[in-house]
Structure 1
Amino acid sequence: MRIDFDPARCDRNTFYRLMTATVVPRPIAWVSTTSAEGTDNLAPHSFFTISCVEPPVVQFTSVGRKDSLRNIEDTGAFVVNFAPEPLFEQINATATDFPRGISEFDTVGIEREASLRVKPPRVAASPVALECELHSTVRLGDSTVVFGRVVHAAVDAAVMTDGHPEVARLAPLSRLGKDEWGTLGEVREISRVPYTEWQGRGQAG
């Protein structure tokens, strides 16, 4: 038996909680920006993914008009910092609704690192930083999707194996429902089956 939910009949928060509990796990974009006045901002956003490969574009969604969105609209630049398990408490702390003009870097005590191509700083302890220039935004109801063209990627050599980031060394965090977070857990590996081999399987059967 299924329980039916009609978004037209549910209040906003009820359906929001349903979606964030079922669209899981969600990677976290730990977005650093700099305001037009020069204040560095840092906040996690869990509506985050890759949008395009060529050119490389990533996207995250600002639910409401948060400082990250305002700063990106004003300056055209941001950094997506990877959210690793060892920084769990700091990442959560930067989700606090600090008043505009207060830097999460300074208040939470997070060390900065200069970016190479954009003004906003990186998180020094994060193993991966994607430096982005604003590509475009799309307004959808109470939210804004931000698309950023990746103009530089900086990866800690300690998480690399044979020239490729190793997921166990990255130790990614993810967001789940309610106040729940996910860690890497078991990693399973399987290759895709080419169609030519799939046909062969069918003929063998």
Structure 2
Amino acid sequence: MKLNTKDYPKLLVRPVVVITTVSKDGIPNAAPFSFNSPVSFEPPLYGFSCAPGHDTWRNIQDTGEFVVNVAPEEMGNLMKILEEKYPPEVNEIEKAGLTAEASEVVKPPRIKEAVAWIECRLEKAVELGDHVWITGMVVAAGVREGCWDGVIKPESCNPLCHISGEFFAVNMTTKRFERAKKK
């Protein structure tokens, strides 16, 4: 079946993250993103794609910091609240009924209900198409108790994934496996 080239993202199931930032006035902001990925092991870099007019991008430009919060299935119904266009003085973490916790290194808070979190400092940003690809240097990371044994345990933490628009997926039945190494 041939698709319109604009439909290509609908072929990919992507992890949902909630990026938390703070404004230059210290007001927390939280927004969901699914165009995101590790970029490099050494140095440890993470990147995500953001619309140029988004509060998240403005806050990162002003403060140079952000936190990537890996969303579990139970945060799925909150995505509608987190993607609303609230005025910059509104705290989306509170609006969604989530709990802000102090991060280890950066000023933006992490979200207690997240499966894992990655604290970043802005490394570089590049305009690509209709978005800005934001790359951050990872300065700290953590994971919820019971979701880690050397790698993330999807069967224990049920990470939320995005397909397109209102369509999401959960890896509840996904079983991790280790492939045989080449000899």
1:39-81 alpha-carbon deviations (Å, 9 max, x no partner): 1000011100110001111100003421111100110000000
1:89-110 alpha-carbon deviations (Å, 9 max, x no partner): 1233201121222110122221
Change (3 A) 1:164 1:26: closer
Q: How far apart are the structure 2 equivalents of 1:3 and 1:53?
A: 36
Change (3 A) 1:99 1:168: same
Partner amino acid for 1:126?
A
1:44 aligns to what SS in structure 2?
strand
Superposition pairs of residues 22-171 of structure 1, within 5 angstroms:
22=11, 24-161=12-149, 163-171=150-158
| Structure with the largest fraction of helix | 1
Count of residues in Structure 1 that have an aligned counterpart in Structure 2:
182
Unaligned runs of 5+ in 1: 8-14, 197-205
The equivalent of 2:169 in structure 1 is: 182
- TM-score, with structure 2 as normaliser: 0.91
Larger radius of gyration: 1
- TM-score, with structure 1 as normaliser: 0.82
Unaligned runs of 5+ in 2: none
1:135 aligns to what SS in structure 2?
strand
The list of structure 1 runs, each at least 4 consecutive aligned residues, that deviate by more than 4 angstroms after superposition, is: none
Q: How far apart are the structure 2 equivalents of 1:47 and 1:63?
A: 11
Shift of the alpha carbon at 1:193? 4.7
| Structure with the largest fraction of strand | 2
